[in-house]
Amino acid sequence: MAQRSIATALAVLFCAAYAAAPARAEKNYGPGVSDTEIKLGQTQPYSGPLSALSAVGRAQGAYIKMIDDQGGINGRKVNLISLDDGYSPPKTVEQTRKLVEEDGVLAIFGSLGTPANTAIYKYLNERHVPQLFIASGASKWRDYKTSPWTISGTINYVIEGGIYGKYILRQHPDAKIAVLYQNDDFGKDYLNGLKERLGDRANMIVATASYETSDPTIDSQVISLKQSGADTLVEFSLTKFTSQAIRKVAELGWKPTHFVPSTSNGIGAVLTPAGIDNSIGLLSAQTNKTASDSQWANDPGYKDWLVFMHKYLPDADINDIYYVAGYNQGQLIVQALRQCGDELTRENLMRQATNLKNVQTTMSLPGITVTTSPTDYDVYHSARLSRFDGKSWVLFGDLISN
């Protein structure tokens, strides 16, 4: 009797499992998805004044190519359509519309630049098109109520600006601070983060100067900041402008405690044009491992990255931080897509991107993981500070959170 009861129970369970199987196996696709393909789109500044930043897009594309070579995501190849916008917002709008309306992509992934992403985020949010892990840390991407379909792939600029403020208060409490910043959301967010962390000590900032990305040089701004009597210079600038400022500071014989942002501390792209000797002693925040730091020589994640670089980007400068950033962002989009399974809709992709749990990208610093939620869109909450010694960025101190 007992045996018949067990057999009956097993039969019931088998029938229930068999009946449920079609539901579990059912596929649900959004635009740009088939049994063999997942189509994504992005824009990058492959031309224009900040073309050095396009290394981010090259790394993202190469990472996707590697994943495709390994069999893709759940048997589907990822087709990443990457278009040039020249760091021009009107061009970004034009290219993004093409990607959405003509190419029919599932999502926009990794598009670079605060001005570029600002130009398209309302359009994408109105159409419920995911704008994922973009290469911009503007504070507006934290606002899950206003832009629920947009999430950053970098440390928030307000958080990083606050980290510099926290360090200055602790180590240089009597500092006289001068700030050079890009006159857009990028630079202003950094500056706001610094001011917020300084709090009632914000009067430590004795001078500020801004620049436009169309400016040929920023020499006059640096001269005016030196004349303020500041002994600390905090730059919230990008690529060639950071290089120009470092070089001009050296020409003036000015020797401030000098900070540059994590977005612009690449040895090959920024410090070499500025002059390596001129760059010794610079301070910057880091969330990622760097090729110049010998401590990662035997690190498994770093070894995997070197193999990737040599195979997929053999002519690239491994000291360029933008390749590391793009590589890590590639891992985030792949993780979100894998979590989707066969429900590859825009809604589910956004759901998965905002439900990452302790994801450790292989080129992030130890202790820095990515956790997101529907009410917390910040992918990174902390960083470590580093000092350039003429050869590499040398980490010091513990993780700092704003």
Relative to beta strand 77-84, strand 382-388 is unpaired
CB-count exposure of residue 152 (10 Å: 0-12, 13-18, 19+)? buried
Structure tokens at 318: 């491994």
DSSP collapsed to 3 states, 247-271: HHHHHCCCCCEEECCHHHCCHHHHH
Integer Cα distance of 334 and 321 in angstroms: 20
* pLDDT (0 to 100) of residue 24: 45
d(CA 338, CA 344): 9
Q: Count the neighbouring beta carbons within 10 Å of the beta carbon of residue 148.
A: 15
Q: What is the 3-state secondary structure (H, E, C) of the chain?
A: CHHHHHHHHHHHHHHHHHHHHHHHHCCEECCCECCCEEEEEEEECCCCCCHHHHHHHHHHHHHHHHHHHCCCECCEEEEEEEEECCCCHHHHHHHHHHHHHHCCCCEEECCECHHHHHHHHHHHHHCCCCEEEEECCCHHHHCCCCCCCEEECCCCHHHHHHHHHHHHHHHCCCCCEEEEEECCHHHHHHHHHHHHHHHHHHHHEEEEEEECCCCCCCHHHHHHHHHCCCCEEEEECCHHHHHHHHHHHHHCCCCCEEECCHHHCCHHHHHHHHCHHHHCCCEEEECECCCCCHHHCCCHHHHHHHHHHHHHCCCCCCCCHHHHHHHHHHHHHHHHHHHHCCEECHHHHHHHHCCCCCECCCCECCCCCECCECCECCCCCEEEEEEECCCCEEEEEEEEEC
Query: What is the reported pLDDT for 1?
Result: 42
Residue with tokens 């029919």: 104
Q: Over its length of 402 residues, how does the chain's per-residue pLDDT go in tens digits?
A: 444 443 444 344 334 333 333 334 589 999 999 999 999 999 999 999 889 899 999 999 999 999 999 999 999 999 999 999 999 999 999 999 999 999 999 999 999 999 999 999 999 999 999 999 999 999 999 999 999 999 999 999 999 999 999 999 999 999 999 999 999 999 999 999 999 999 999 999 999 999 999 999 999 999 999 999 999 999 999 989 999 999 999 999 999 999 999 999 989 889 999 999 999 999 999 999 988 888 999 999 999 999 999 999 999 999 888 999 999 999 999 999 999 999 999 999 999 999 999 999 999 999 999 999 999 999 999 999 999 999 999 999 999 987
Quick one: pLDDT at residue 269?
87
Question: 327 Cβ partners below 8 Å, 6+ apart?
Answer: 59, 60, 62, 63, 305, 308, 361, 363
What's the pLDDT at 21?
37
Q: Residues 341-382: pLDDT tens digits?
A: 999 999 999 999 999 999 999 999 999 999 999 999 999 999
Q: What is the pLDDT of residue 9?
A: 41
What domains are there in the chain, each with its CATH number? 37-155+298-371 (3.40.50.2300), 158-286+385-401 (3.40.50.2300)
Instruction: Give the Cα separation of 182 and 160 in Å (integer).
Output: 15
pTM confidence score: 0.86
CB atoms within 10 A of CB 387: 14
**Residue-wise pLDDT tens digits, 150-209:** 999 999 999 999 999 999 999 999 999 999 999 999 999 999 999 999 999 999 999 999
What are 6-16's pLDDT values in tens digits? 344 434 433 43
> Residue 49's pLDDT is what?
86
